[in-house]
Amino acid sequence: MNDQERRALGEEKIKDVYAGDVVVPPEGYAFTDIMLKQLFAELWTRETLSMRDKRILLLGIIAEKGEPTTFKIQIKASLKRGEINPEEAREFLLFIAQYSGYPRAASMLGPVEEAIAEVAKETAGSAE
């Protein structure tokens, strides 16, 4: 596969992973070009782990890093894609609190509830 094909595959995969909520970065910036060609075209397309497994692993890493904004983006995408449900999203925080600490998990309470509410609103809006 050539670079353009890898980029095209990466663009499609990033749209899929983030349920269309992330803008595909324009070509020409090394950081995002490599990210699309490697992370999304090569890693996210592998079939050894399911998308749900990859997402849960990623959520654990992001939680440990203490990144509530990124955690919300991932939770929202996972909810929209049907990989998890709201109860599971909330349960993650209980587990995170035990292994990463209550302050870290508490910082993600708001973002998780925001993501759940946003997906519920979007889902209700599309059903009308």
- Residue 121, phi then psi, degrees to nearest 5: -65, -45
Per-position DSSP letters for 25-87, written without gaps between them: PPTT-HHHHHIIIIIIIIITT-SSS-HHHHHHHHHHHHHHHT-HHHHHHHHHHHHHTTSS-HH
Domains and CATH numbers, the chain: 3-43 (no CATH), 51-127 (1.20.1290)
pLDDT in tens, the chain (128 residues): 898 999 999 999 999 999 999 999 999 999 999 999 999 999 999 999 999 999 999 999 999 999 999 999 999 999 999 999 999 999 999 999 999 999 999 999 999 999 999 999 998 977 66
What pTM does this model have? 0.89
Residue 115's nearest CA partner among 83, 61, 65, 72 is 72
In whole angstroms, what is the distance from residue 61 CA to residue 123 CA? 28
